[in-house]
Chain A
Amino acid sequence: MTITREQAAARRAGVAAAARIIDGVKVYGQGATAVRALDSISADFAVGRFTAIMGPSGSGKSTLLHCLAGLDRLTTGRVLVGDVDLGSLDDKAMTLLRRERIGFVFQAFNLVPTLTAAENVVLPLTLGGHKPDRVWVDRLARSLGIADRLGHRPAELSGGQQQRVATARALVTRPDLIFADEPTGNLDSRSATELLTQIRRAVDEYGQTVVMVTHDPRAAAYADRVLFLADGRVVRELPDPTADRILDAIRELGEQGAE
């Protein structure tokens, strides 16, 4: 994998954002029962960086991820992926953007049960009618340790293996952005560690941009920075996090919230 010239330039400049959200508002429901899941939130996600998003349940972290990933639309405000304004895209264009420029790893149900691991990995490519690059797929599979499991169906794989297949799928299109929603939520600690190491390597070796929602401080510690959300806003940003510093931050935020 080589980084595109633009990406490299952007990284050198240290300014270009892979994704941005500007004054994002997301309201669910109407009238008295309306819930403001995102409340004028703004954030940048720089190219080649790994961002973790944390916050109590109901803080809007999943909503933020969904809106950034083009799975959901803002009520008002803008989301830019690269220089594309998601608000301007219809469903088809949004789908193609997800297929070509975005990768996903979910907490559960990451794979299509009727397809083999290999078929799952190349799914975003074959959906677009593209022939997968065998060398690249093999390299991904080897580096994720699933090379010998490619012929199996998801039901024949362990949870950790399934998530690594999902990660390979997220990487296979060399997307601008990878979104992970509690990817370690269903894994034992050893599998979780392995998976996070792989994601970290994707960032370091391939220059991927990763946005991960998690509530696990140890998982968040793999990121370059942590955004803390509460009530639909970014309440704190923690660069170069460690598990301890994250726990401290959570405690402080909890105290503030209690005041």
Chain B
Amino acid sequence: MWRVTLKGVLAHRLRYALTALAVLLGVAFIAGTYVLTDTINSTFNGLYTQIYQGTGAVVRARQAFNPGASFTSQREQIDATMASTVARVPGVKAVALGVEGYAQLVGRNGKPIGVASNGPPTLGVAWTDVAALNPLRMLPGGSPPRTSTQVVIDKHSADVGHLRVGDRVVVLTKARPATYTITGIVTWGSADSPLGATITAFTPATAEQVLGQPGKVDEISVEAAPGVSQSDLVSRLHAAIHNPKIEVVSGQAVTAEGQQSVHQALSVINVFLLVFAFIALFVGSFVIFNTFSISVAQRMRELALLRAVGASRRQVMGSVLGESLVIGVLASAAGVAAGIGLAAVLKAGLAALGFDLPATGLVVGLRTVAVGLVVGTVITLVSAVAPARRAGRIPPVAALQDVAAEPRQLSARRVARGAIVTAGGAAVLGLGLFGHTGSRIVEVGAGAGVVFLGVALLGPLVARPVSHLLGAPLAMRGTTGKLAQQNAMRNPARTAATAAALMVGVTLVSFMTILASSTKASVNSIIDSAVRADFVLSNGGIAGGSSGFSPDIERSLNALPQVSATEGIRSGIVQLYGKTTPVVATDPVQASRLFDIGVTQGRLASMTPTGIAVSTQAATDRHLRIGSQIAVTYPTTGRKTYTVQVIYSVRELAGDYVLPLAAAQANFPQALDIDVFVKLAPGVSASAGQHAIHGVLAAYPNVTLMDQTQYKAQQEQQVNQMLNLIYGLLALAVVIALIGIANTLALSIYERTRELGLLRAVGTTRGQLRSMVRSESLVISLLGAVQGLVLGVLFGWAIVAALHSQGITHLVFPVEQLLVLAALAGLAGIAAAIAPSRRAARLNVLHAVTTE
């Protein structure tokens, strides 16, 4: 039977080529994701090992909890004087002062290097002359910074900003911007820079001043004397320091921490990308199912003949499954290979976005190959089970009958099954959206997937009437259109399964579009109603992130006569009720003048440094009243208790908890503002105000000034960026669906060879035949688009309803965008038909007419 199976695959290799492509693309996505993240991981493992090679131990403040991956330290600073204590410990060969903070270089064109918002970090560090403890390596021709006006910068920034040794460069820090002379260009280990981060190294004294605070350092690195082990060194230092707030960790532990932080960041990216890879494979499974269904229908006589000559039901079924196994294995193997190529492309793409990766070979792990092969093969096999079972049920007598592969009546059982599956999926989806159970994302994803399967099962029910409706305008235009409409209707099961693949993509795209539009509308309306400021300053930093800008800006603005009130927003990561969460902190008096956050109890203006404002939602969830105590744990300073003094209703702007500015100053090590809101003095015109503010901002090219309209546009821009990324990642699923359409058309054309020949004989031109196939494809893809839009609208409505409490208060259906989406789906369908339509037109008339 294996011979028959293999011959079957070989004989139909063309029809299976497209199926294999659908599997291949999905597997390539998975393999590419793994190869890319593994490569980055291994690169950083190497780099961290390299830069901490000479580090025997690190002395630093203890952290109350680990706030997660972050380039900037979330620790309290320690006294620099401790260095002398450390240096005296026996076994210590040398020490280096570690200071780290925000420092952004301004390129020759006046623009800051590096994107503050979600790009690589912009770091300032202290230079050390102890070579073993210095992660930076001086390139030839440079020398270390020696004075308070000298810096060295990383090679990546030097390349991007066209900066050379001897150039003068403006560096933005938490202090006032200042100009420095570049005395050298360095690499970070052997890399130009870590992931494209920009690095500026100052003398230790300057670093303390502009990055942190004078006399304080973030850590002290220690080089061990020869013959002293890291563990010995750590215990000796421990004994010598004897301070419960200080911890001493070995160089190995610090290396592992660095590596771990990269692993964590990458695993988030990994999961994000894999979600889209699985969506692509899910769509691919429709294509596989369809190909095998059509293939079984077309080979009914052949399979019946096998039964007639003695093959058992199981053997026939096994032969079809065997074909899928062969295709699954081959396509998956090719997919893994393609994934390696894809990783190379992605790496180049990341480099273009500023995440420069050191040139190292790609890492192809055993796991990459294993997961790619297993997932691709299993999905192919599972998708072929139903067609294989149908093949097994073909009676031997079919070999003798002239059974055409015409549509079967949709059984009541299938309708019932489809309805049950759809309802079940919708129930799980609803539970995920509105329930209060643990893993909501998993439930939402699984529920949506099951709904897709259910709707696909029910698809044939609507495929006929909807195709008829969609094809009607074509049919009115002429015979070719009429034929196309009828062809799309003649086998509803096939049409439905083909359209279902596209439906998945269109659903997800329209769903995301609706969610994004609703988010934008909700944010806009909140800004309109809650923000009383005339202007907003921002450098794109987000709450909990590591970027921001100097608080000097707010101070300077406040001094302007044109300005009546300013409010700087700070943020940090804390633990509340055991959950790690970003919070914002601000001056409550200013907040009361610049915002209307719907205070229901208490007064912002009378909040004290130990007070906290909470949202009505948090108050309800945590049973909080005015006067309740809340424990906030900072990574730096540990547990502090606050008293609820204000309860507010608008949580979309500030989240559930707002801390007073004093809390930020005491507990957030990075004293940077992420936003500053400005209200003009009465009688000052917008343009006059803008002019005055611009005067202050001239020295800070990293900060943008926005009025409310621009602020709204910026918020929309952030949503759009995410949306575009998701569109891009969903594109693969759509491409696979189009491959499915092309495949179905090609198989249908093969099946209709004689009919097409007849049409040619009685006077259908090649052009008309091509147009007929294209129109059929148009109808099928529009069917998928319509189904997708319906589901997308339902899903969109559900998610917006579910996220109402999260601040998505406005449900918006962007009709225009959704119509454009449908039109694009139609166009894509026409594009998918190009190759099959050519093939149909090239058919030899005579061959077609005389084919038995």
Interface of A toward B, CB cutoff 8 Å:
62, 66, 69, 71-72, 91-92, 95-96, 98-100, 104, 106, 109-115, 119, 123-124, 126-129, 169
Binds A, one of B31-39, B284-292, B477-485: B477-485
B755 within 8 A of A: yes
Knowing A62-B850, A71-B846, A100-B763 are in contact, say whether A126-B486 is a contact too (CB < 8 A): no
Q: Which 4 A-B pairs have the closest CB atoms?
A: A99-B763, A114-B486, A126-B479, A95-B765
- Report if B347 contacts A (CB, 8 A): no
Residues of A within 8 A of B480 (CB): 127
Interface size class on chain B is 20 to 34
- The reply to whether A98 and B755 contact each other, CB–CB distance below 8 Å, is no
Q: Which residues of A contact B762 (CB under 8 A)?
A: 98-99, 104, 123-124, 127, 169
B759 at interface, CB cutoff 8 A: yes
Chain B residues within an 8 Å CB radius of A99: 762-764
Kindly provide the distance from the CB of A165 to the nearest chain B CB, expressed in whole angstroms: 12
Q: List 17 A-B contacts (CB under 8 A).
A: A69-B761, A71-B849, A92-B765, A95-B766, A98-B761, A98-B763, A104-B762, A109-B755, A110-B758, A111-B758, A115-B486, A119-B479, A119-B482, A124-B762, A127-B762, A127-B768, A169-B762
Besides A112-B759, A114-B487, A115-B482, 19 new A-B residue pairs in contact (Cβ under 8 A), listed by A number: A62-B850, A71-B761, A91-B766, A95-B764, A95-B765, A96-B765, A100-B763, A109-B758, A109-B849, A112-B755, A114-B483, A123-B479, A123-B762, A123-B763, A124-B762, A126-B479, A127-B765, A127-B768, A169-B762
Given contacts A62-B850, A71-B845, A127-B480, contact A114 B764 (CB under 8 A): no
Best-surrounded residue of A72, A96, A110, A112 (most CB of chain B within 10 A): A112
* Cβ–Cβ contact B763 & A115, under 8 A: no
* Alpha-carbon separation in the docked complex, A92 to B770 (Å): 13
State the CA gap A127–B480 with chains docked (Å). 7
- With the chains together, A119 CA to B485 CA distance in Å? 14
Separation of A108 and B763 alpha carbons in the complex (Å): 18
A255 to B490 Cα, complex, angstroms:
52
Most chain-A Cβ atoms within 10 A of its Cβ — which of B486, B754, B766?
Answer: B486
A98 to B755, CA, bound (A): 16
Asked if B760 is at the interface of the complex by the 8 Å CB criterion, the answer is yes
Complex contact B758–A112 (CB within 8 A): yes
Residues in B461-505 with C-beta less than 8 Å from chain A: 478-480, 482-483, 486-487, 489-490
Q: Which of B478, B489, B846 interacts with A129 by CB under 8 Å?
A: B478
B490 partner residues in chain A, CB cutoff 8 A:
113-114
Most chain B beta-carbon contacts within 10 A, residue among A62, A72, A114: A114
A52 to B762, CA, bound (A): 21
Q: Per DSSP, are chain B's interface residues mostly helix, strand or loop, or mixed?
A: helix
Whole-angstrom distance between the Cβ of B848 and the nearest chain A Cβ: 9
Q: Are B763 and A124 in contact (CB-based, < 8 A)?
A: yes
CB distance from A13 to the nearest CB of B (A): 30
Chain A residues within 8 Å of B478, by CB: 126, 129
**A157 nearest CB across to chain B (Å):** 15
* Chain A residues whose CB sits within 8 angstroms of the CB of B761 once the complex forms: 69, 71, 98, 104, 106
Contact partner of B846 among A72, A119, A123, A124, CB < 8 A?
A72
Residues on A with beta carbons closer than 8 Å to the beta carbon of B849: 71, 106, 109
Q: How far is the CB of B478 from chain A (nearest CB, A)?
A: 6
A124 / chain B contacts, CB cutoff of 8 Å: 762-763
Min CB distance, A183 to chain B, in Å?
13
CA distance A177 to B758 in the complex (A): 17
Residues in B whose Cβ lies below 8 Å from that of A104: 761-762
B768 contact set on A, CB distance < 8 A: 127
* Interface-centre pick from B487, B767, B850 (highest chain A CB count, 10 A): B850
Q: How distant is the Cα of A127 from the Cα of B479 in the complex, in angstroms?
A: 6
Q: List, in ascending order, chain A residues with CB within 8 A of B763's CB.
A: 95-96, 98-100, 123-124, 127-128
The distance in angstroms between the C-alpha atoms of A126 and B846, with both chains bound, is 22
- A166: shortest Cβ distance to chain B, in Å? 9
Docked-complex contact B846 and A66, CB < 8 angstroms: yes
Taking CB as reference atom, which chain B residue is nearest A72? Answer: B846
Min Cβ gap B762→A in Å is 5
Closest approach, in angstroms, between the C-beta of B843 and any C-beta of chain A?
12
Our pick among A62, A66, A92, A106 for the contact of B758 (Cβ within 8 Å) is: A106
Interface string of B742-782 (1 = CB under 8 A from A): 00000000000011001111111111100000000000000
List residues of chain A with CB within 8 A of the CB of B487. 114
Q: Kindly state the separation between the CA atoms of A126 and B772 in the bound complex, as whole angstroms.
A: 14
Residues of B within 8 A of A127 (CB): 479-480, 762-765, 768
Q: Tell me which residues from 275 to 326 in chain B have a Cβ below 8 Å from any Cβ of chain A.
A: none
Residues of A within 8 A of B479 (CB): 119, 123, 126-127
Tell me if B483 and A92 are in contact (CB < 8 A).
no
State in angstroms the CA–CA spacing of A71 and B758 once bound together: 11
Task: Look across to chain B and name the residue whose beta carbon is closest to the beta carbon of A102.
Answer: B763
Q: Across the two chains, which residue of chain A brings its CB closest to B760?
A: A95
Distance between Cα atoms of A5 and B490 in the complex (Å):
45
Contact across chains for B483 and A115 when beta carbons are under 8 A apart = yes
Q: State in angstroms the CA–CA spacing of A113 and B762 once bound together.
A: 15
Residues of chain A lying within 8 A (CB to CB) of residue B759: 112, 123
Closest to B485 in A: A114
With A and B bound together, what is the CA distance between A106 and B850 in angstroms? 9
CB distance from B626 to the nearest CB of A (A): 75
Q: How far is the CA of A109 from the CA of B754 in the complex (A)?
A: 7
A170 (CB) vs chain B CBs: closest residue: B762
Q: Shortest Cβ distance from A151 into chain B, in angstroms?
A: 15
Residues of chain B with a CB closer than 8 A to A72's CB? 845-846
Within the complex, the shortest CB–CB distance from B841 to chain A, in Å, comes to: 9
**Smallest Cβ distance from B408 to chain A, in angstroms?**
14
> In the complex, what distance in Å separates the CA atom of A139 from the CA atom of B435?
70
* 8 A Cβ contacts from B767-822 to A: 767-768
User: What chain B residues lie within 8 Å of A113 (beta carbons)?
Assistant: 490, 755
User: In the docked arrangement, what's the CA distance between A100 and B765, Å?
Assistant: 12
Looking at the assembled complex, report how far the CB atom of A203 sits from the nearest CB atom of chain B, in whole angstroms.
20
Instruction: Give the distance in Å from the alpha carbon of A48 to the alpha carbon of B850 in the complex.
Output: 27
